[in-house]
Structure 1
């Protein structure tokens, strides 16, 4: 279980995960883009751009740039909030669901590899 892992083990799993992602000829996200992506997918309901900026403590233009890239990759989509047309909702997509599932597999493989090496 990851919660019971030492700081060094967590760092090793993160390192192995990042290396696996870098070595792939696939989507390559910056840490900010990945942070925005994960926040959209791990919070209940579609967040707003304003809410993402506040929650991540970064500027709205920085969120917008990250969302531009995520949108280009079809990992998220933006939609005007029908309840408040001044707000923009950030929604999940099928491509984003698939990317998250794949990311989870990469992380699990990194964890397994680390545990095997440590045994």
Structure 2
């Protein structure tokens, strides 16, 4: 990813991204922090970056306005597809 024009994510940001996209939701800030064993402020910083890149977004839960839900985006789904392609090519020896 570093050598491409795709977003360059830190390990934490990538971990949050993959958790949101590969595990069934709904995802909350509190739940993600617990799952990834990070503080809520650290998770919030990672989500800030993912939000800047439009790879994930936060929304207030309409059923419980105290909860913040983390949602997938179309751009994030495309990024996941690109990431899968890069990993598959690397596993095949870079072809």
Give the TM bin, normalised by the shorter chain: over 0.9
In the superposition, the TM-score normalised over structure 1's length comes to 0.77
Q: CA shift at 1:61, angstroms?
A: 0.3
Q: Distance in 1 between matches of 2:87 and 2:44?
A: 27
Q: Which runs of 4+ in 1 moved over 3 A?
A: none
Cα RMSD over matched residues? Answer: 1.2
> Scaled by the length of structure 2, what TM-score is found?
0.95
Q: Which has the larger radius of gyration?
A: 1
Structure 1 spans left out of the alignment, 5+ residues = 1-20
CA distance in 1, matches of 2:29, 2:61: 11
Instruction: Point out the structure with the larger strand share.
Output: 2
Q: RCO greater where, 1 or 2, for CA within 8 Å and sep 6 or more? A: 1
Gaps of 5+ in 2: none
Aligned residue pairs: how many?
95
Q: When you count helix as a share of all residues, which structure comes out higher?
A: 1
